[in-house]
Structure 1
Protein backbone atom coordinates (compact mmCIF):
# COMPACT_ATOMS: atom_id res chain seq x y z
CA UNK A 1 0.00 0.00 0.00
CA UNK A 2 1.29 3.45 -0.89
CA UNK A 3 1.28 6.22 1.68
CA UNK A 4 -0.98 9.05 0.42
CA UNK A 5 1.17 11.71 2.14
CA UNK A 6 4.19 10.43 0.20
CA UNK A 7 2.21 10.48 -3.05
CA UNK A 8 0.99 14.03 -2.29
CA UNK A 9 4.60 15.17 -1.84
CA UNK A 10 5.57 13.39 -5.07
CA UNK A 11 2.84 15.36 -6.90
CA UNK A 12 4.18 18.67 -5.57
CA UNK A 13 7.74 17.83 -6.64
CA UNK A 14 6.56 16.68 -10.09
CA UNK A 15 4.74 19.98 -10.60
CA UNK A 16 7.43 22.31 -9.24
CA UNK A 17 10.48 20.46 -10.56
CA UNK A 18 12.48 21.17 -7.40
CA UNK A 19 12.51 19.87 -3.85
CA UNK A 20 12.92 23.33 -2.33
CA UNK A 21 9.98 24.98 -4.11
CA UNK A 22 7.79 21.92 -3.48
CA UNK A 23 8.69 22.11 0.21
CA UNK A 24 7.67 25.79 0.34
CA UNK A 25 4.36 24.97 -1.32
CA UNK A 26 3.70 22.21 1.22
CA UNK A 27 5.01 24.13 4.22
CA UNK A 28 7.62 21.53 5.19
CA UNK A 29 11.41 21.24 5.14
CA UNK A 30 13.08 20.20 1.86
CA UNK A 31 14.96 17.42 3.65
CA UNK A 32 11.59 15.96 4.64
CA UNK A 33 10.54 16.10 1.00
CA UNK A 34 13.67 14.21 -0.06
CA UNK A 35 13.17 11.60 2.66
CA UNK A 36 9.52 11.00 1.77
CA UNK A 37 10.34 10.68 -1.94
CA UNK A 38 12.97 8.08 -1.08
CA UNK A 39 10.40 6.20 1.02
CA UNK A 40 7.93 6.25 -1.87
CA UNK A 41 10.55 4.97 -4.31
CA UNK A 42 11.33 2.16 -1.87
CA UNK A 43 7.61 1.31 -1.67
CA UNK A 44 7.18 1.01 -5.45
CA UNK A 45 10.61 -0.50 -6.00
CA UNK A 46 11.56 1.95 -8.75
CA UNK A 47 13.31 5.30 -9.12
CA UNK A 48 10.66 7.91 -9.81
CA UNK A 49 12.79 11.04 -10.20
CA UNK A 50 16.13 11.83 -11.81
CA UNK A 51 17.99 14.44 -9.74
CA UNK A 52 20.30 17.06 -11.23
CA UNK A 53 21.63 20.53 -10.26
CA UNK A 54 18.88 22.04 -12.46
CA UNK A 55 16.12 20.22 -10.58
CA UNK A 56 14.32 16.92 -11.00
CA UNK A 57 12.71 15.14 -13.94
CA UNK A 58 10.26 12.27 -13.95
CA UNK A 59 11.53 8.86 -14.96
CA UNK A 60 9.31 6.61 -17.06
CA UNK A 61 8.05 4.98 -13.86
CA UNK A 62 7.46 8.43 -12.37
CA UNK A 63 5.37 9.46 -15.37
CA UNK A 64 3.26 6.33 -14.98
CA UNK A 65 2.72 7.00 -11.29
CA UNK A 66 1.88 10.67 -11.96
CA UNK A 67 -1.30 9.80 -13.87
CA UNK A 68 -2.54 7.55 -11.06
CA UNK A 69 -1.58 10.13 -8.42
CA UNK A 70 -3.51 12.90 -10.18
CA UNK A 71 -6.65 10.76 -10.34
CA UNK A 72 -6.33 9.87 -6.65
CA UNK A 73 -5.88 13.56 -5.81
CA UNK A 74 -9.01 14.46 -7.77
CA UNK A 75 -11.04 11.88 -5.87
CA UNK A 76 -9.63 12.99 -2.51
CA UNK A 77 -10.43 16.63 -3.25
CA UNK A 78 -13.90 15.78 -4.52
CA UNK A 79 -14.57 13.70 -1.39
CA UNK A 80 -13.37 16.51 0.87
CA UNK A 81 -15.55 19.04 -0.95
CA UNK A 82 -18.57 16.73 -0.86
CA UNK A 83 -18.31 16.39 2.92
CA UNK A 84 -17.11 19.88 3.80
CA UNK A 85 -19.66 21.70 1.65
CA UNK A 86 -22.70 19.55 2.18
CA UNK A 87 -24.32 22.67 3.66
CA UNK A 88 -23.73 24.54 0.36
CA UNK A 89 -21.52 27.18 1.96
CA UNK A 90 -19.93 29.50 -0.56
CA UNK A 91 -16.39 29.59 0.81
CA UNK A 92 -12.86 28.59 -0.09
CA UNK A 93 -10.27 29.25 -2.83
CA UNK A 94 -10.98 29.34 -6.58
CA UNK A 95 -8.24 29.87 -9.17
CA UNK A 96 -9.52 31.39 -12.42
CA UNK A 97 -7.12 31.45 -15.40
CA UNK A 98 -8.09 33.58 -18.40
CA UNK A 99 -6.51 35.16 -21.47
CA UNK A 100 -4.91 38.49 -20.62
CA UNK A 101 -7.42 40.63 -22.50
CA UNK A 102 -10.52 39.11 -20.92
CA UNK A 103 -9.06 39.08 -17.42
CA UNK A 104 -7.70 42.63 -17.61
CA UNK A 105 -10.48 44.51 -19.38
CA UNK A 106 -13.67 42.57 -18.61
CA UNK A 107 -13.27 40.62 -15.36
CA UNK A 108 -10.89 42.72 -13.21
CA UNK A 109 -13.03 45.91 -13.30
CA UNK A 110 -16.01 43.91 -11.94
CA UNK A 111 -14.28 41.73 -9.34
CA UNK A 112 -15.36 44.05 -6.54
CA UNK A 113 -18.98 43.03 -7.16
CA UNK A 114 -18.09 39.38 -6.85
CA UNK A 115 -16.11 39.89 -3.64
CA UNK A 116 -18.94 41.86 -2.08
CA UNK A 117 -21.44 39.13 -2.93
CA UNK A 118 -19.19 36.23 -1.92
CA UNK A 119 -16.81 37.50 0.77
CA UNK A 120 -15.76 33.99 1.85
CA UNK A 121 -14.67 32.87 -1.63
CA UNK A 122 -10.95 33.50 -2.13
CA UNK A 123 -10.79 34.29 -5.85
CA UNK A 124 -7.41 34.23 -7.60
CA UNK A 125 -7.53 35.78 -11.09
CA UNK A 126 -4.66 34.79 -13.40
CA UNK A 127 -4.94 36.83 -16.64
CA UNK A 128 -2.07 35.34 -18.61
CA UNK A 129 -1.91 34.19 -22.23
CA UNK A 130 -0.31 30.83 -21.49
CA UNK A 131 -1.44 27.24 -21.16
CA UNK A 132 -2.73 26.05 -17.79
CA UNK A 133 -3.43 22.49 -16.69
CA UNK A 134 -6.66 21.70 -14.86
CA UNK A 135 -5.41 18.17 -14.24
CA UNK A 136 -2.39 19.50 -12.37
CA UNK A 137 -4.54 21.93 -10.35
CA UNK A 138 -2.89 24.99 -11.89
CA UNK A 139 -6.42 26.40 -12.12
CA UNK A 140 -9.94 25.42 -11.09
CA UNK A 141 -11.64 27.22 -13.98
CA UNK A 142 -9.98 27.87 -17.32
CA UNK A 143 -11.10 30.28 -20.03
CA UNK A 144 -9.21 29.72 -23.26
CA UNK A 145 -9.33 30.24 -27.00
CA UNK A 146 -9.64 26.54 -27.77
CA UNK A 147 -11.98 23.82 -26.56
CA UNK A 148 -10.04 20.96 -24.92
CA UNK A 149 -10.76 17.64 -26.61
CA UNK A 150 -9.27 15.26 -24.04
CA UNK A 151 -9.52 14.57 -20.33
CA UNK A 152 -12.36 14.48 -17.81
CA UNK A 153 -13.28 18.08 -18.61
CA UNK A 154 -16.51 19.94 -19.27
CA UNK A 155 -16.38 22.85 -21.74
CA UNK A 156 -18.92 25.37 -22.90
CA UNK A 157 -18.86 28.41 -25.16
CA UNK A 158 -18.53 31.47 -22.95
CA UNK A 159 -18.63 34.21 -25.59
CA UNK A 160 -17.71 35.17 -29.11
CA UNK A 161 -15.68 38.35 -29.45
CA UNK A 162 -13.86 40.26 -32.14
CA UNK A 163 -10.60 42.05 -32.71
CA UNK A 164 -10.26 45.00 -35.03
CA UNK A 165 -7.77 47.57 -36.22
CA UNK A 166 -7.48 50.72 -34.11
CA UNK A 167 -5.32 53.84 -33.99
CA UNK A 168 -5.32 57.09 -32.06
CA UNK A 169 -6.74 60.21 -33.70
CA UNK A 170 -3.32 61.82 -33.26
CA UNK A 171 -1.68 59.03 -35.26
CA UNK A 172 -4.29 59.27 -38.04
CA UNK A 173 -3.85 63.06 -38.25
CA UNK A 174 -0.09 62.67 -38.78
CA UNK A 175 -0.22 59.94 -41.44
CA UNK A 176 -1.73 59.35 -44.89
CA UNK A 177 -5.49 58.66 -44.98
CA UNK A 178 -6.72 55.06 -44.94
CA UNK A 179 -9.58 54.22 -47.31
CA UNK A 180 -8.75 50.62 -48.21
CA UNK A 181 -6.64 47.69 -47.02
CA UNK A 182 -4.01 48.55 -49.62
CA UNK A 183 -3.39 51.87 -47.84
CA UNK A 184 -2.17 50.07 -44.70
CA UNK A 185 1.18 49.21 -46.28
CA UNK A 186 2.32 52.78 -45.70
CA UNK A 187 1.60 52.72 -41.97
CA UNK A 188 3.28 51.69 -38.73
CA UNK A 189 1.94 48.79 -36.68
CA UNK A 190 2.00 47.64 -33.09
CA UNK A 191 1.87 43.83 -33.08
CA UNK A 192 2.42 40.67 -31.08
CA UNK A 193 5.71 38.80 -30.77
CA UNK A 194 5.62 36.43 -33.75
CA UNK A 195 6.66 33.22 -32.00
CA UNK A 196 4.24 33.78 -29.12
CA UNK A 197 0.98 34.14 -31.06
CA UNK A 198 -1.21 31.60 -32.79
CA UNK A 199 -1.16 31.11 -36.55
CA UNK A 200 -4.47 32.95 -37.10
CA UNK A 201 -3.00 36.26 -35.91
CA UNK A 202 0.00 35.87 -38.20
CA UNK A 203 -2.40 35.27 -41.09
CA UNK A 204 -4.26 38.49 -40.26
CA UNK A 205 -1.07 40.55 -40.45
CA UNK A 206 -0.01 38.87 -43.70
CA UNK A 207 -3.42 39.61 -45.19
CA UNK A 208 -3.54 43.31 -44.32
CA UNK A 209 0.00 44.61 -44.01
CA UNK A 210 2.64 41.98 -44.66
CA UNK A 211 5.31 44.53 -45.66
CA UNK A 212 4.36 47.26 -43.20
CA UNK A 213 6.77 48.63 -40.62
CA UNK A 214 6.34 47.12 -37.14
CA UNK A 215 7.05 49.93 -34.70
CA UNK A 216 6.70 47.70 -31.63
CA UNK A 217 6.15 44.06 -30.79
CA UNK A 218 4.94 42.97 -27.37
CA UNK A 219 3.58 39.78 -25.81
CA UNK A 220 1.29 41.90 -23.59
CA UNK A 221 -2.13 42.91 -24.92
CA UNK A 222 -2.17 45.77 -22.41
CA UNK A 223 1.17 47.09 -23.70
CA UNK A 224 -0.11 46.88 -27.28
CA UNK A 225 -3.30 48.71 -26.37
CA UNK A 226 -1.41 51.45 -24.51
CA UNK A 227 1.13 51.90 -27.31
CA UNK A 228 -1.60 52.24 -29.95
CA UNK A 229 -3.51 54.72 -27.78
CA UNK A 230 -0.33 56.78 -27.39
CA UNK A 231 -0.11 57.26 -31.17
CA UNK A 232 2.70 54.81 -31.99
CA UNK A 233 0.86 52.94 -34.73
CA UNK A 234 -2.10 50.80 -35.74
CA UNK A 235 -2.89 47.66 -33.75
CA UNK A 236 -5.19 44.67 -33.80
CA UNK A 237 -6.96 45.17 -30.48
CA UNK A 238 -9.78 43.58 -28.51
CA UNK A 239 -12.98 45.35 -29.50
CA UNK A 240 -14.42 45.10 -25.98
CA UNK A 241 -11.49 47.18 -24.68
CA UNK A 242 -10.95 49.52 -27.63
CA UNK A 243 -14.59 50.61 -27.96
CA UNK A 244 -14.49 51.85 -24.35
CA UNK A 245 -11.30 53.89 -24.87
CA UNK A 246 -12.05 57.42 -26.20
CA UNK A 247 -8.46 57.76 -27.41
CA UNK A 248 -8.97 55.06 -30.07
CA UNK A 249 -10.59 55.17 -33.49
CA UNK A 250 -11.62 52.10 -35.50
CA UNK A 251 -9.69 51.63 -38.76
CA UNK A 252 -11.52 49.97 -41.67
CA UNK A 253 -14.05 48.29 -39.34
CA UNK A 254 -16.13 47.01 -42.26
CA UNK A 255 -13.14 45.44 -44.00
CA UNK A 256 -10.86 44.09 -41.26
CA UNK A 257 -12.03 42.13 -38.23
CA UNK A 258 -11.20 38.82 -36.60
CA UNK A 259 -13.82 36.88 -34.66
CA UNK A 260 -12.79 34.42 -31.96
CA UNK A 261 -14.40 32.41 -29.18
CA UNK A 262 -13.74 32.09 -25.47
CA UNK A 263 -14.29 28.57 -24.09
CA UNK A 264 -14.93 28.01 -20.39
CA UNK A 265 -13.59 24.68 -19.09
CA UNK A 266 -13.76 23.05 -15.67
CA UNK A 267 -12.88 19.59 -14.40
CA UNK A 268 -15.97 17.38 -14.33
CA UNK A 269 -15.43 16.57 -10.65
CA UNK A 270 -15.51 20.23 -9.61
CA UNK A 271 -18.21 21.83 -11.74
CA UNK A 272 -20.90 21.32 -9.07
CA UNK A 273 -18.87 22.74 -6.19
CA UNK A 274 -20.78 25.74 -4.86
CA UNK A 275 -17.84 28.14 -4.96
CA UNK A 276 -16.83 27.07 -8.49
CA UNK A 277 -20.43 27.35 -9.65
CA UNK A 278 -20.59 30.89 -8.21
CA UNK A 279 -17.57 31.99 -10.27
CA UNK A 280 -18.96 30.39 -13.43
CA UNK A 281 -22.29 32.16 -12.96
CA UNK A 282 -20.42 35.42 -12.36
CA UNK A 283 -18.57 35.02 -15.67
CA UNK A 284 -21.76 34.30 -17.60
CA UNK A 285 -23.33 37.39 -16.05
CA UNK A 286 -20.42 39.59 -17.13
CA UNK A 287 -20.61 38.26 -20.67
CA UNK A 288 -24.35 38.87 -20.84
CA UNK A 289 -23.96 42.46 -19.62
CA UNK A 290 -21.04 43.20 -21.94
CA UNK A 291 -22.30 41.50 -25.08
CA UNK A 292 -22.72 44.74 -27.09
CA UNK A 293 -18.99 45.40 -26.57
CA UNK A 294 -17.90 41.82 -27.24
CA UNK A 295 -19.44 41.66 -30.69
CA UNK A 296 -19.96 44.57 -33.12
Structure 2
Protein backbone atom coordinates (compact mmCIF):
# COMPACT_ATOMS: atom_id res chain seq x y z
CA UNK A 1 0.00 0.00 0.00
CA UNK A 2 1.33 3.42 -0.92
CA UNK A 3 2.52 5.74 1.85
CA UNK A 4 0.26 8.83 1.89
CA UNK A 5 3.06 11.03 3.23
CA UNK A 6 5.22 10.15 0.22
CA UNK A 7 2.25 10.74 -2.07
CA UNK A 8 1.67 14.14 -0.47
CA UNK A 9 5.30 15.10 -1.12
CA UNK A 10 5.08 13.75 -4.68
CA UNK A 11 1.89 15.78 -5.29
CA UNK A 12 3.54 18.99 -4.05
CA UNK A 13 6.67 18.37 -6.15
CA UNK A 14 4.58 17.71 -9.27
CA UNK A 15 2.57 20.92 -8.74
CA UNK A 16 5.68 22.96 -7.97
CA UNK A 17 7.81 21.68 -10.85
CA UNK A 18 10.95 21.37 -8.75
CA UNK A 19 12.21 19.82 -5.53
CA UNK A 20 13.43 23.24 -4.38
CA UNK A 21 9.99 24.87 -4.59
CA UNK A 22 8.33 21.78 -3.10
CA UNK A 23 10.76 21.87 -0.17
CA UNK A 24 9.87 25.53 0.49
CA UNK A 25 6.13 24.75 0.53
CA UNK A 26 6.57 21.69 2.75
CA UNK A 27 9.10 23.18 5.15
CA UNK A 28 11.59 20.42 4.35
CA UNK A 29 15.08 20.31 2.92
CA UNK A 30 15.49 19.70 -0.81
CA UNK A 31 17.46 16.52 -0.12
CA UNK A 32 14.66 15.18 2.10
CA UNK A 33 12.10 15.78 -0.67
CA UNK A 34 14.37 14.06 -3.19
CA UNK A 35 14.85 11.05 -0.89
CA UNK A 36 11.09 10.66 -0.37
CA UNK A 37 10.41 10.79 -4.12
CA UNK A 38 13.18 8.27 -4.79
CA UNK A 39 11.74 6.00 -2.09
CA UNK A 40 8.29 6.24 -3.68
CA UNK A 41 9.77 5.37 -7.09
CA UNK A 42 11.54 2.38 -5.49
CA UNK A 43 8.27 1.24 -3.90
CA UNK A 44 6.55 1.36 -7.29
CA UNK A 45 9.51 0.16 -9.33
CA UNK A 46 8.77 2.99 -11.77
CA UNK A 47 10.14 6.42 -12.60
CA UNK A 48 7.73 9.26 -11.85
CA UNK A 49 9.83 12.22 -12.98
CA UNK A 50 12.33 13.04 -15.68
CA UNK A 51 14.85 15.27 -13.95
CA UNK A 52 16.69 18.01 -15.83
CA UNK A 53 18.34 21.34 -15.08
CA UNK A 54 15.17 23.38 -15.66
CA UNK A 55 12.96 21.33 -13.36
CA UNK A 56 10.82 18.20 -13.28
CA UNK A 57 8.71 16.62 -16.00
CA UNK A 58 6.21 13.91 -15.12
CA UNK A 59 6.48 10.57 -16.90
CA UNK A 60 3.31 8.97 -18.24
CA UNK A 61 2.98 6.89 -15.05
CA UNK A 62 3.76 10.02 -13.03
CA UNK A 63 0.88 11.85 -14.76
CA UNK A 64 -1.53 9.04 -13.85
CA UNK A 65 -0.38 9.00 -10.22
CA UNK A 66 -0.57 12.80 -10.01
CA UNK A 67 -4.21 12.82 -11.15
CA UNK A 68 -5.07 10.24 -8.48
CA UNK A 69 -3.07 12.05 -5.78
CA UNK A 70 -4.68 15.36 -6.80
CA UNK A 71 -8.19 13.90 -6.34
CA UNK A 72 -7.19 12.46 -2.95
CA UNK A 73 -5.70 15.78 -1.89
CA UNK A 74 -8.86 17.64 -2.96
CA UNK A 75 -11.17 15.18 -1.19
CA UNK A 76 -9.16 15.45 2.03
CA UNK A 77 -9.42 19.24 1.80
CA UNK A 78 -13.20 18.94 1.42
CA UNK A 79 -13.46 16.70 4.49
CA UNK A 80 -11.36 19.14 6.52
CA UNK A 81 -13.49 22.05 5.34
CA UNK A 82 -16.77 20.26 6.02
CA UNK A 83 -15.57 19.48 9.54
CA UNK A 84 -14.65 23.15 10.07
CA UNK A 85 -18.04 24.21 8.65
CA UNK A 86 -19.89 22.04 11.15
CA UNK A 87 -20.41 25.13 13.35
CA UNK A 88 -22.67 26.65 10.65
CA UNK A 89 -20.02 29.23 9.71
CA UNK A 90 -18.99 29.10 6.01
CA UNK A 91 -15.22 28.75 6.03
CA UNK A 92 -12.31 27.33 4.07
CA UNK A 93 -10.91 27.67 0.55
CA UNK A 94 -13.14 28.28 -2.46
CA UNK A 95 -11.57 28.25 -5.93
CA UNK A 96 -13.72 29.95 -8.57
CA UNK A 97 -12.98 29.82 -12.28
CA UNK A 98 -14.50 31.91 -15.06
CA UNK A 99 -13.51 33.71 -18.25
CA UNK A 100 -11.08 36.62 -18.20
CA UNK A 101 -13.80 38.96 -19.47
CA UNK A 102 -16.49 38.27 -16.88
CA UNK A 103 -14.02 37.68 -14.06
CA UNK A 104 -12.11 40.93 -14.49
CA UNK A 105 -15.28 43.04 -14.72
CA UNK A 106 -18.68 41.85 -13.46
CA UNK A 107 -17.36 39.37 -10.86
CA UNK A 108 -14.36 41.26 -9.46
CA UNK A 109 -16.41 44.43 -8.89
CA UNK A 110 -18.74 42.54 -6.52
CA UNK A 111 -16.30 40.48 -4.46
CA UNK A 112 -15.57 43.07 -1.79
CA UNK A 113 -19.12 42.81 -0.46
CA UNK A 114 -18.96 39.00 -0.40
CA UNK A 115 -15.63 38.93 1.45
CA UNK A 116 -16.98 41.32 4.08
CA UNK A 117 -20.00 39.06 4.58
CA UNK A 118 -17.90 35.87 4.80
CA UNK A 119 -14.40 36.75 6.02
CA UNK A 120 -13.51 33.12 6.84
CA UNK A 121 -13.86 31.99 3.22
CA UNK A 122 -10.49 31.98 1.45
CA UNK A 123 -11.51 32.99 -2.07
CA UNK A 124 -9.28 32.33 -5.09
CA UNK A 125 -10.33 33.45 -8.58
CA UNK A 126 -8.75 31.67 -11.56
CA UNK A 127 -9.41 33.53 -14.80
CA UNK A 128 -8.98 31.38 -17.86
CA UNK A 129 -10.73 31.46 -21.23
CA UNK A 130 -9.87 27.76 -21.54
CA UNK A 131 -12.29 26.03 -19.18
CA UNK A 132 -10.83 24.36 -16.10
CA UNK A 133 -12.10 20.85 -15.36
CA UNK A 134 -14.29 20.77 -12.24
CA UNK A 135 -14.44 16.97 -12.36
CA UNK A 136 -10.64 16.89 -12.11
CA UNK A 137 -10.74 19.39 -9.19
CA UNK A 138 -8.95 22.14 -11.11
CA UNK A 139 -11.44 24.48 -9.41
CA UNK A 140 -14.38 24.13 -7.05
CA UNK A 141 -17.03 26.13 -8.91
CA UNK A 142 -17.34 27.97 -12.21
CA UNK A 143 -19.24 30.78 -13.88
CA UNK A 144 -19.77 29.54 -17.43
CA UNK A 145 -21.24 31.29 -20.43
CA UNK A 146 -23.07 28.13 -21.53
CA UNK A 147 -24.73 25.09 -19.99
CA UNK A 148 -22.17 22.62 -18.58
CA UNK A 149 -21.13 19.86 -20.95
CA UNK A 150 -20.98 17.31 -18.11
CA UNK A 151 -24.56 16.30 -17.28
CA UNK A 152 -23.75 15.45 -13.66
CA UNK A 153 -22.74 19.03 -12.84
CA UNK A 154 -25.19 21.13 -10.83
CA UNK A 155 -26.13 24.37 -12.58
CA UNK A 156 -27.97 27.56 -11.72
CA UNK A 157 -28.72 30.19 -14.34
CA UNK A 158 -27.43 33.63 -13.36
CA UNK A 159 -28.43 35.94 -16.23
CA UNK A 160 -28.71 36.39 -19.97
CA UNK A 161 -25.69 38.09 -21.53
CA UNK A 162 -26.82 40.69 -24.07
CA UNK A 163 -24.40 42.08 -26.64
CA UNK A 164 -24.40 45.61 -28.07
CA UNK A 165 -22.31 47.62 -30.51
CA UNK A 166 -20.12 50.26 -28.83
CA UNK A 167 -17.76 53.03 -29.85
CA UNK A 168 -16.07 55.92 -28.04
CA UNK A 169 -17.23 59.52 -28.21
CA UNK A 170 -13.95 60.41 -29.91
CA UNK A 171 -14.56 57.80 -32.62
CA UNK A 172 -18.11 59.06 -33.24
CA UNK A 173 -16.86 62.67 -33.39
CA UNK A 174 -14.32 61.72 -36.04
CA UNK A 175 -16.23 59.14 -38.09
CA UNK A 176 -19.88 59.87 -37.39
CA UNK A 177 -22.65 57.65 -35.98
CA UNK A 178 -23.74 54.74 -38.23
CA UNK A 179 -27.42 55.02 -39.12
CA UNK A 180 -27.95 51.47 -40.44
CA UNK A 181 -26.32 48.05 -40.65
CA UNK A 182 -25.23 48.82 -44.22
CA UNK A 183 -23.55 51.98 -42.98
CA UNK A 184 -21.11 49.83 -40.99
CA UNK A 185 -19.31 49.11 -44.28
CA UNK A 186 -17.89 52.64 -44.00
CA UNK A 187 -16.62 52.20 -40.44
CA UNK A 188 -13.66 50.65 -38.63
CA UNK A 189 -14.53 47.53 -36.66
CA UNK A 190 -12.83 45.58 -33.88
CA UNK A 191 -13.21 41.78 -33.77
CA UNK A 192 -12.28 38.87 -31.54
CA UNK A 193 -9.09 37.14 -32.74
CA UNK A 194 -8.75 33.46 -33.55
CA UNK A 195 -9.51 31.02 -32.13
CA UNK A 196 -12.93 32.22 -30.98
CA UNK A 197 -14.10 30.26 -27.88
CA UNK A 198 -17.27 28.31 -28.61
CA UNK A 199 -19.10 29.90 -25.67
CA UNK A 200 -18.79 33.36 -27.29
CA UNK A 201 -20.83 32.17 -30.27
CA UNK A 202 -21.33 35.01 -32.77
CA UNK A 203 -19.03 37.52 -31.06
CA UNK A 204 -17.78 38.49 -34.54
CA UNK A 205 -21.31 39.11 -35.82
CA UNK A 206 -20.21 42.65 -36.67
CA UNK A 207 -18.06 41.22 -39.48
CA UNK A 208 -20.93 39.25 -41.02
CA UNK A 209 -24.13 41.19 -40.31
CA UNK A 210 -25.76 42.06 -43.63
CA UNK A 211 -22.87 40.50 -45.58
CA UNK A 212 -22.41 37.11 -47.24
CA UNK A 213 -20.16 34.57 -45.55
CA UNK A 214 -17.71 34.89 -48.44
CA UNK A 215 -17.26 38.64 -48.02
CA UNK A 216 -17.19 39.63 -44.34
CA UNK A 217 -16.16 43.09 -43.25
CA UNK A 218 -12.45 43.40 -42.61
CA UNK A 219 -11.58 44.22 -39.02
CA UNK A 220 -9.09 47.02 -38.46
CA UNK A 221 -8.03 45.21 -35.26
CA UNK A 222 -8.48 41.72 -33.79
CA UNK A 223 -7.97 41.09 -30.07
CA UNK A 224 -8.34 37.65 -28.49
CA UNK A 225 -9.84 38.98 -25.25
CA UNK A 226 -13.17 40.71 -24.58
CA UNK A 227 -11.58 43.14 -22.15
CA UNK A 228 -8.95 44.04 -24.77
CA UNK A 229 -11.66 44.70 -27.34
CA UNK A 230 -13.39 47.04 -24.89
CA UNK A 231 -10.14 48.93 -24.22
CA UNK A 232 -9.52 49.29 -27.96
CA UNK A 233 -13.05 50.65 -28.51
CA UNK A 234 -12.63 53.07 -25.61
CA UNK A 235 -9.37 54.28 -27.17
CA UNK A 236 -11.28 55.29 -30.33
CA UNK A 237 -9.93 52.58 -32.65
CA UNK A 238 -13.32 51.44 -33.92
CA UNK A 239 -16.70 49.87 -33.22
CA UNK A 240 -16.89 46.59 -31.26
CA UNK A 241 -19.64 44.17 -30.30
CA UNK A 242 -19.30 43.69 -26.55
CA UNK A 243 -21.25 41.88 -23.82
CA UNK A 244 -23.03 44.15 -21.35
CA UNK A 245 -21.07 42.79 -18.38
CA UNK A 246 -17.83 44.32 -19.66
CA UNK A 247 -19.29 47.78 -20.29
CA UNK A 248 -21.56 48.35 -17.26
CA UNK A 249 -19.15 50.81 -15.60
CA UNK A 250 -17.75 52.32 -18.81
CA UNK A 251 -18.93 55.90 -19.36
CA UNK A 252 -16.40 56.37 -22.18
CA UNK A 253 -18.46 54.25 -24.59
CA UNK A 254 -21.71 54.94 -26.40
CA UNK A 255 -24.09 52.37 -27.84
CA UNK A 256 -24.26 52.17 -31.64
CA UNK A 257 -27.38 51.02 -33.55
CA UNK A 258 -29.24 50.08 -30.32
CA UNK A 259 -32.35 49.05 -32.25
CA UNK A 260 -30.59 46.02 -33.79
CA UNK A 261 -31.17 42.75 -31.90
CA UNK A 262 -27.87 40.93 -31.44
CA UNK A 263 -26.91 37.37 -30.39
CA UNK A 264 -27.16 36.61 -26.66
CA UNK A 265 -26.15 33.72 -24.41
CA UNK A 266 -26.70 32.50 -20.85
CA UNK A 267 -24.40 32.61 -17.82
CA UNK A 268 -24.52 29.73 -15.31
CA UNK A 269 -23.09 28.99 -11.88
CA UNK A 270 -21.76 25.42 -12.01
CA UNK A 271 -20.39 23.03 -9.39
CA UNK A 272 -19.96 19.27 -8.89
CA UNK A 273 -22.42 17.12 -6.90
CA UNK A 274 -19.72 16.46 -4.30
CA UNK A 275 -20.08 20.10 -3.17
CA UNK A 276 -23.87 20.32 -3.10
CA UNK A 277 -23.89 20.45 0.73
CA UNK A 278 -20.94 22.81 1.08
CA UNK A 279 -21.90 25.96 3.01
CA UNK A 280 -19.26 28.09 1.33
CA UNK A 281 -20.47 27.03 -2.14
CA UNK A 282 -24.07 27.64 -1.09
CA UNK A 283 -23.49 31.17 0.20
CA UNK A 284 -21.38 32.08 -2.85
CA UNK A 285 -24.08 30.74 -5.19
CA UNK A 286 -26.83 32.65 -3.36
CA UNK A 287 -24.73 35.82 -3.36
CA UNK A 288 -24.16 35.64 -7.13
CA UNK A 289 -27.84 34.92 -7.80
CA UNK A 290 -28.83 37.98 -5.75
CA UNK A 291 -26.31 40.18 -7.58
CA UNK A 292 -27.52 38.84 -10.94
CA UNK A 293 -31.11 39.81 -10.05
CA UNK A 294 -29.99 43.32 -9.12
CA UNK A 295 -28.01 43.77 -12.31
CA UNK A 296 -29.64 46.11 -14.81
CA UNK A 297 -28.51 45.46 -18.36
TM bucket (normalised to shorter chain) is 0.7 to 0.9
Q: For the Cα contact (< 8 Å) 1:165–1:256, is it kept in 2?
A: no
Cα deviation 1:108-142 (Å, max 9, x = unaligned): 22222212211222222334434323355442222
Secondary structure of 2:189 counterpart: strand
Q: For residues 146-185 of structure 1, what are the structure 2 equivalents within 5 Å? A: 146-150=146-150, 153-185=153-185
Residue 248 of structure 1 corresponds to 253
Q: 1:225 to 1:29 in 2, by over 3 A?
A: farther
Residue 84 of structure 1 corresponds to 84
Q: For the Cα contact (< 8 Å) 2:92–2:122, is it kept in 1?
A: yes
Residue 201 of structure 2 corresponds to 200
Distance 2:85 2:146 in 1: 31
Secondary structure of 1:131 counterpart: coil
Q: CA deviation at 1:97?
A: 1.9
Q: For the Cα contact (< 8 Å) 2:206–2:240, is it kept in 1?
A: no
- CA-atom RMSD in angstroms: 2.8
Distance 2:32 2:185 in 1: 62
Which stretch shows the higher mean deviation, 1-10 or 28-37?
A: 28-37
List gaps (5 residues or longer) in structure 2.
none
Residue 289 of structure 1 corresponds to 294
Q: CA deviation at 1:187?
A: 1.5
Distance 1:221 1:238 in 2: 8
Q: 1:261 to 1:54 in 2, by over 3 A?
A: farther
Q: For the Cα contact (< 8 Å) 1:164–1:239, is it kept in 2?
A: yes
Q: 1:261 to 1:88 in 2, by over 3 A?
A: same
Secondary structure of 1:139 counterpart: coil
Q: For the Cα contact (< 8 Å) 2:189–2:206, is it kept in 1?
A: no
Paired residue total: 291
Cα deviation 1:207-245 (Å, max 9, x = unaligned): 13833342x433443332233123221112121343543
Residue 8 of structure 1 corresponds to 8
Q: CA deviation at 1:249?
A: 1.9
Distance 2:25 2:196 in 1: 29
Q: For the Cα contact (< 8 Å) 2:189–2:218, is it kept in 1?
A: yes
Is 1:116 the counterpart of 2:122? The answer is: no
Q: 1:285 to 1:177 in 2, by over 3 A?
A: closer
Residue 58 of structure 1 corresponds to 58
Q: CA deviation at 1:176?
A: 4.7
Match of 1:234 among 230, 233, 239: 239
Q: For the Cα contact (< 8 Å) 2:167–2:254, is it kept in 1?
A: yes
What TM-score comes out, normalization by structure 1 length? 0.84
Q: For the Cα contact (< 8 Å) 1:189–1:234, is it kept in 2?
A: yes
Q: CA deviation at 1:166?
A: 0.6
Q: For the Cα contact (< 8 Å) 2:98–2:131, is it kept in 1?
A: no
